[in-house]
Amino acid sequence: MADTEYALEARGIGKRFGEFWAVNNVDLKVRRGAIHALIGPNGAGKTTCFNLLTKTLQPSTGKIILDGEDISRLRTSDVAKKGMVRSFQISATFTDLTALQNVRVALQSSHGSAWRFWSPISSIYKLNERAEDLLEQVGLADARDMKAAELSYGKKRALEIATTLALEPKVMLLDEPTAGMGHEDIEPITELIRKVSRDRTIVIVEHNLSVVSTLSDRITVLQAGQVLMEGNYAEVSSDERVIAAYLGGVDDAA
Amino acid sequence: MRIALVLTGIALSLAAPFFVYPVLLMTILCFVIFAASFNLLLGYAGLLCFGQAMFLGLSAYMTGLMLKTTGMSIELAILASALISAALGAFVGFVAVRRSGIQFAMITFAFAQFVYFLLLQSEFTGGEDGMQGIPRSNLFGIFDISDSMTFYYFVLAATLLVILLVYRIVHSPFGEILQAIRDNEVRVESLGFRPERFKILAMTISAGLAGLAGGLKATVFGFATLTDVSWTVSGEVILMTLLGGLGTLSGPMVGAGIIIVMNDELAQFGEWALIAQGIILILVILFMRRGVVGEAGALIRRIRSRKAN
Ligand SMILES: Nc1ncnc2c1ncn2[C@@H]1O[C@H](COP(=O)(O)OP(=O)(O)OP(=O)(O)O)[C@@H](O)[C@H]1O
Ligand SMILES: [Mg+2]
């Protein structure tokens, strides 16, 4: 089962909001171990795709296959347990918890301690070491005891990646991990993504094309909820339709 | 500093009944427990239950019923009643936790009104007149604690136990998940948890604690009335929590003390008590976002950091 060529597959997934198809009959094949980028103009349906893949939203049509197993009917939490975990476009940290606690919450997911309302918190201090490791990896060692709310935007994004990594996902979905980051933050995050991609599959939504070009093995372009094309960076960036779609997207936004 | 505060608090509460009318003190303690139960939900799980009184009131009647009709010892009657409230909490939670914010509040409110109606119609509650003459049976079936002074120490011990329990829950692995759910439920779900289950457990525990407060209250006064189940009490506990400081452990307890003493002082003015409560609520919302305890804590931190500079 774990030997299928594709870690993640979507077959004809779609999502309808009222009369509007935000995602329409999308096929996606993500090769095991690859970094697969999902790009497209604003409102193309990238985030909605992520919502469907992780079952945050119930697809109106189609099937989702993770590691050869149909997960279309699972709930979000079970998708996470199966090894596919996402990050969010809008920074999703636990604002009143410290950086360490943020990561520790994720570590508790597979630790089985989460129900113990009678145990002192010191009973899970054994998770701290792993949490500190993860914070260190994303460059947040110094922020260990700071509340997430007090972190800069870039650091919140980094914390989110550490939290996602804590689940050791086989497939990691990153929704615009560098959005809103300053130049000095983008480089290390890109490096980090490359580093953690070694033993896992990554799908990344990203507007920063230099990040896309350095990271991705494969790119799927979405437009108006549908797949416009798929290819490597050279193919995609030279495609007339893609260029037109991006210009069109800019027009829409204006 | 914190330990000193706690010790002073305990010393004061041990000496208090020699200076203050014990029934007033016991009322405060019951509402300290009640407010702590509410704070567990709103302050730590982010759930605004607008029907907390149903757990208080149901348990008050149940305790009364058991003490009047059976020879149960007092602690068993109160515990059993608290469990009944906890079961109600689990049920209400099961129905309501999928909703959030105002919808959750409305569903809990509807349940509370329904429980109110049931108790009003039931024969055993005495309807509008309430249930009178609830006896204080012996503690563990042997110790006579019926005298007010002794009973005060029983209520105090129960209150301290509850405070310890809430402290433990808030600072537990479960408590950490609960706070994460309060901050971002969708994220918690995406990390492989089922937030609704955690919220149901929080509701269950909270309802059980509110039930404990109700059982104690019924034995303090020797009667249970519909007021204990009414929406005004559900509202009052919100006021106590906000006044004292949401999400701080001691805040709601302090808030409970202030409101009960104030009600007691203002009782002679009738309706004015309500108006005063309203005015206080507005002032707190406008000028003391963090509540009495929260603001005091912020003030201390400010002074400290000034000294440090
Ligand atoms: N819950 C919803 N209800 C109705 N419409 C929605 C909903 N979620 C998304 N949409 C619509 O679906 C379309 C796709 O949205 P989506 O967020 O997936 O775009 P995106 O590609 O992630 O864009 P961006 O680059 O701006 O993040 C948009 O037109 C959006 O308004
Ligand atoms: Mg998006």
Number of domains, chain B:
1
Give mean pLDDT in consecutive 10-residue pieces for chain A, a chain of 254 residues. 76 90 90 91 90 92 90 91 90 92 93 84 89 90 90 88 93 89 83 88 90 89 88 81 67 39
One-letter amino acid for residue A19 of the chain:
E
Is A96 within 8 Å of B168 when comparing Cβ atoms? no
**pLDDT above 60: residue B244:** yes
- Identify whether B178 is part of a domain: yes
CB contact under 8 A, A76 and B189: yes
What's residue A3's pLDDT?
59
Question: Is residue B287 pLDDT above 50, yes or no?
Answer: yes
Query: Is B208 a member of any domain?
Result: yes
Interface residue B175 vs chain A (CB under 8 A): yes
Q: Do A182 and A252 share a domain, yes or no?
A: yes
| B245 torsion bin: left (phi>0), alpha (psi -120 to 50), beta (else) | left
pLDDT higher at A95 or B12:
A95
Residues of A in contact with B198 (CB under 8 A): 114
For residue A208, being part of any structural domain is answered with yes
**Residue A56 CA, ligand 1 centroid: distance in Å:** 14
Chain B neighbors of A80, CB-CB under 8 A = 189-192
Beta pairing, strands A20-31 & A69-70? unpaired
Q: What would the mean pLDDT of B249-262 be, rounded to a whole number? A: 85
Indicate whether B296 belongs to any domain: no
Q: How many CB pairs under 8 A join A and B?
A: 104
SS3 A219: strand
Q: Are residues A1 and A78 in the same domain?
A: yes
Q: Which range of residues forms the domain containing residue B176?
A: 16-230
Q: Is residue B26 part of a domain?
A: yes
Assigned domain for B191 exists: yes
The answer to whether position A22 is within a domain reads yes
Measured between CB atoms, which of A75, A105, A163 is closest to B176? A105
Say what the pLDDT of residue B141 is.
Answer: 66
**Residue A99 within a domain:** yes
Q: Which of B52, B99, B38, B100 is nearest to B242 (CA)?
A: B38
Interval B173-192: pLDDT, tens: 999 999 999 999 999 999 99
Atom of ligand 1 nearest to the CA of A89: 27
Q: Has residue B294 been placed in a domain? A: no
DSSP for B284-297? Answer: HHHH-TTHHHHHHH
**Is B174 near chain A, with CB under 8 Å?**
yes
Instruction: Please indicate, yes or no, if residue A207 is contained in any of the structural domains.
Output: yes
Residue A138 resides in a domain? yes
B84 pLDDT exceeds 80? yes
- Considering the domain architecture, whether residues A143 and A217 belong to the same structural domain is answered as no
Q: Is A72 exposed, middle or buried (0-12, 13-18, 19+ CB in 10 A)?
A: middle
The DSSP code sequence of B136-174 is -PPBTTTB---SHHHHHHHHHHHHHHHHHHHHHHHTSHH
Alpha helices in A55-98 (DSSP H): 76-81
* Percentage above 70 pLDDT, chain B: 99
Q: Do A77 and A177 fall within a single domain?
A: yes
In the block, tokens 């409305």 appear at: B106
What is the pTM for the complete model shown?
A: 0.88
pLDDT of residue A2: 52
- Average pLDDT in the B11-24 region? 81
pLDDT at A252: 42
CA distance A29 to chain B (A): 22
Asked if residue A152 belongs to a domain, the reply is yes
Provide, as residue numbers in chain B, all residues whose Cβ is less than 8 Å from the Cβ of A95. 183-184
C-alpha distance from B84 to closest chain A C-alpha (Å): 20
- Position B302 scores a pLDDT of 86
pLDDT class of B300 with cuts at 50, 70, 90: confident
Closest by CA position to A196, among listed A222, A225, A162: A162
Q: Give the nearest chain A residue to B176 (CA atoms).
A: A105
| CATH number for the domain that contains residue A227 | 3.40.50.300
Residues A209 and A238 in one domain: yes
Q: Based on the domain organization, do A112 and A58 belong to the same domain?
A: no
Atom 16 of ligand 1, residue of closest alpha carbon: A45
Instruction: Print the domain residue range for A13.
Output: 1-83+173-186+201-254
| B176–chain A Cβ distance below 8 A for any pair | yes
Q: Are B234 and B50 in contact (CB under 8 A)?
A: yes
* Residue B65 counted as domain residue: yes
Q: How confident is the model at residue B239 (pLDDT cuts 50, 70, 90)?
A: confident
Contacts of B192 in chain A (CB under 8 A): 77-78, 80-81, 85, 109-110, 167
For position B214, what pLDDT does the model report?
95
Predicted interface score ipTM higher than 0.85: yes
A117:B182 CB<8 A: no
Instruction: Please state the domain count of chain A.
Output: 2
Average pLDDT on B209-218 reads: 95
Residues A180 and A212 both lie in one domain: yes
- A101 and A76 in a single domain? The answer is no
Which of the residue ranges B12-26, B140-154, B163-177 has the most confident prediction, judged by mean pLDDT?
B163-177
Asked whether residue A73 falls in the same domain as residue A177, the answer is yes
State whether A180 and A223 are in the same domain.
yes
Quick one: B103 exposed, middle or buried, by C-beta within 10 A (0-12, 13-18, 19+)?
exposed
Alpha carbon nearest to ligand 1 atom 12, residue: A22
Q: In terms of Cα–Cα distance, which of B213, B148, B153, B165 is closest to B13?
A: B153
- What is the C-alpha to C-alpha distance for residues B58 and B119, in angstroms, rounded to an integer? 8
Residue A247 is predicted with a pLDDT of 62
Greater confidence (B194 vs B99) lies with B194
Indicate whether B83 pLDDT > 90: yes
| pLDDT score of B177 | 95
A196 in a structural domain: no
pLDDT in tens, A205-244: 988 888 888 888 899 989 888 888 888 888 878 878 877 7
Distance from CA of B199 to the nearest CA of A (A): 11
Cβ < 6 A, ligand 1 pocket: A 17, 22, 40, 42-48, 89
